[in-house]
């Protein structure tokens, strides 16, 4: 490609600039990595060691910190609650969102633009600001302290971007395919299920990643709707844990590692898709 920054053959001025830029980039990379590395290392130490030798490796690697946080700290339960709520929400979003996208863009009718805009209205709305009516709605439905409240709200929260991205993708699929399916006697559900959905698979992956991250990490809605300890999700459970264990720094670091490591590991495997998904989603 034209105009690549190559060190070799550059003028002195350009070389100086490249070195300055590299120093900036490397510093920033360290600024990102070091705190995470320090967090993981500290999570294997005793509190005393964390203060005495903050930069050193642990004298003895204490896996017991993790055992304690996972069991007594309740992180095992919070972790599975998060998986449960995120999994079901994203499952419903993918089903209803792809059905809606299909219904909006594969048929020719006047209302379709209006319906599309109704879905899109949610993209810019700060849902947190609607918490008072949501709170009353959930209370009237008798869903306080019930994971179903979270599932419904997370579904709603993810629906606009899902419909947006999937509609954009489905538009590009040629109509001939489904028409030939109809001639062969397929009904509309079969057209959706057996012709359009398999072709939409790549953008389904994108939508899953794009929506699962904010849902998995959400703190605000569990804070409002969940009271009992056994139903808390990971971010909410962590905040309770932090209030109770302010002195036990080794446990705090272990709990942070449990909260952050799954995403880090997932990212190491899927970084290509994460990056692609985030750019595509943000640019449209």
Partner 1 sequence: MKKTKHQSLWITFFVLPGLLIVLVFIVAPLFMSMYNSMFSWKSIARDQFVGMENFHKIFNQYPYKDRFFNAMGNNIQWFLSTMLIQNSLGILFGYLLYKKIAGSAVYQRVFFIPVLFSIVAVGFLWSLYMNPNMGIINRFLKDVGLQSWTRAWLGDEALATPSIIAVNIWRWVGFPTLVFYAGFNAVPEEVVEASYLDGIGEGRLFTHIMIPLIMPSIMVITVLTLIGSLNVFEQIYTMAGLEGGPYYSTDTLGTLFYRTAFGAVDSGLPEVGIGSAIAVVIYVLTFFFSALSIISFKGKEVEL
Annotate 197-234 with b (16+ C-beta within 10 A) or e (fewer): beebeebbebbbbbbbbebbebeebbebbbeeeebbbb
Q: Is residue 217 within the footprint of partner 1 (CB under 8 A)?
A: yes
55 contact partners, CB below 8 Å, separation of at least 6: 38
Q: Is residue 156 within the footprint of partner 1 (CB under 8 A)?
A: yes
Which residue lies nearer to partner 1 by CB, 67 or 118?
118
d(CA 195, CA 188) in angstroms, rounded, equals 10
Interaction mask 19-58, partner 1, x per CB under 8 A: --xx-xx--xx-xxx-xx-xx----------xx--x----
Which residue lies nearer to partner 1 by CB, 62 or 270?
270
For residues 266 and 217, is the Cβ–Cβ distance under 8 A? Answer: no
220 contact partners, CB below 8 Å, separation of at least 6: 128, 131
**Scanning residues 78 to 117, which ones bind partner 1 (CB under 8 A)?**
96-97, 99-100, 102-104, 107-109, 115
Exactly one of 58, 76, 87, 122 binds partner 1 (CB under 8 A); that residue is 122
Q: Is residue 216 within the footprint of partner 1 (CB under 8 A)?
A: yes
Which residue lies nearer to partner 1 by CB, 72 or 179?
179
**Scanning residues 252 to 271, which ones bind partner 1 (CB under 8 A)?**
252-253, 256, 259-260, 263-264, 267, 271
Q: Which secondary-structure segment (H or E) carries 12?
A: helix 12-42
Q: Is residue 146 within the footprint of partner 1 (CB under 8 A)?
A: no
d(CA 104, CA 98) in angstroms, rounded, equals 10
Helices (H), 53-196: 64-70, 75-105, 112-124, 131-140, 147-170, 175-183, 188-190
For residues 62 and 44, is the Cβ–Cβ distance under 8 A? Answer: yes
Q: Is residue 7 within the footprint of partner 1 (CB under 8 A)?
A: yes
Closest distance of CB 171 from partner 1, Å: 15
**Scanning residues 168 to 187, which ones bind partner 1 (CB under 8 A)?**
179
Structure tokens at 153: 């709200």
Exactly one of 41, 85, 134, 165 binds partner 1 (CB under 8 A); that residue is 134
Exactly one of 69, 85, 90, 159 binds partner 1 (CB under 8 A); that residue is 159
């Amino acid at each position: 490609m034209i105009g690549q920054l190559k060190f070799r053959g550059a003028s002195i001025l350009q070389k100086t600039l490249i070195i300055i830029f590299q120093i900036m980039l490397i510093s920033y990379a360290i600024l990102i990595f070091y705190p995470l590395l320090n967090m993981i290392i500290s999570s294997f130490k005793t509190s005393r060691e964390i203060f005495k030798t903050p930069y050193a490796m642990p004298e003895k690697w204490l896996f017991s910190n993790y055992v304690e946080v996972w069991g007594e700290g309740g992180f095992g339960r919070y972790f599975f609650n998060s998986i449960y709520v995120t999994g079901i929400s994203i499952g419903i979003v993918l089903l209803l969102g792809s059905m809606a996208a299909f219904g909006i863009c594969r048929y020719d009718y006047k209302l379709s633009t209006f319906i599309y805009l109704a879905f899109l209205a949610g993209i810019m709305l700060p849902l947190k600001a609607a918490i008072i009516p949501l709170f009353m709605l959930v209370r009237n439905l008798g869903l306080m302290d019930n994971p179903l409240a979270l599932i419904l709200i997370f579904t709603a929260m993810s629906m606009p971007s899902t419909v947006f991205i999937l509609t954009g993708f489905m538009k590009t699929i040629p109509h001939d395919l489904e028409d030939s399916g109809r001639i062969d006697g397929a009904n509309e559900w079969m057209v959706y299920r057996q012709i359009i959905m398999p072709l939409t698979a790549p953008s389904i992956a994108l939508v899953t990643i794009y929506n699962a991250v904010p849902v998995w990490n959400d703190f605000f809605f569990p804070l409002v709707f969940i009271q009992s300890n056994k139903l808390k999700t990971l971010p909410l459970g962590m905040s309770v844990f932090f209030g109770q264990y302010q002195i036990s720094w080794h446990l705090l670091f272990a709990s942070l590692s449990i909260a952050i490591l799954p995403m880090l590991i997932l990212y190491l495997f899927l970084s290509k898709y994460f990056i692609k998904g985030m750019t595509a989603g943000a640019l449209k």
